[in-house]
Amino acid sequence: MSDLALLTEAFHRNGRVNEALLNTLTEEDLALSDGQGGLSVGQLLEHLFGMRKVYLHRVGSTYAEQITVETEEGDQPFWPVTLSTTQLRGALAEADAAVLNAVQDAAGDGPGFQNYFASHPAQLLVLTLIHDANHRGQITTLLRQGGRSAAALDQLARATWPIWRD
């Protein structure tokens, strides 16, 4: 398997992990926060989506235009959550497709990325994987602090970790 094929597979698995997490959340979970000024679960999830669009713009890709979903996230540190769990599933899927298309085209015969990921366009996939994992950890912590039982968190782990071991 080529390096790009391996990273593409990991990127697809990351999307499945995000979907599995979203499948365990209620709309009320989106409001959970640390009470100390940190982002809520909903804001973290909208941020996962939003950063895909931001990085596509930064690499000079027109693929960001394929992402039709909008959120209130911007230059402000906090914003009102506007997407439901169902909408977040769709937004992440749409953004993932745009990122993957951009990387595959830039790695092939398409135009390369400007200023970012000069070593290889697939670095965008790596960045997204790391970024998502970081914020999923924060979301899990907020769920625990918000009263999610150990059994429920264990069920979430059983739904997500096997995706990486297939």
Name the binding residues for a divalent metal cation: 47, 131, 135
CA-CA-CA-CA torsion sign (51, 57, 60, 66)? positive
Q: Three-state DSSP class for 109?
A: coil
Q: Which residue has the tokens 């999307």?
A: 15
Which residues line the annotated binding site? 47, 131, 135
Could you tell me how far CA 87 lies from the centroid of its own chain? 13
| Residues 72, 127, 85: CA angle, nearest 5 degrees | 40
Q: Which residue has the tokens 């995706």?
A: 163
CB 161: neighbour CB atoms within 10 A? 11
* CB proximity list for 30: less than 8 A, separation 6 or greater: 40, 41, 42, 45, 81, 84, 85
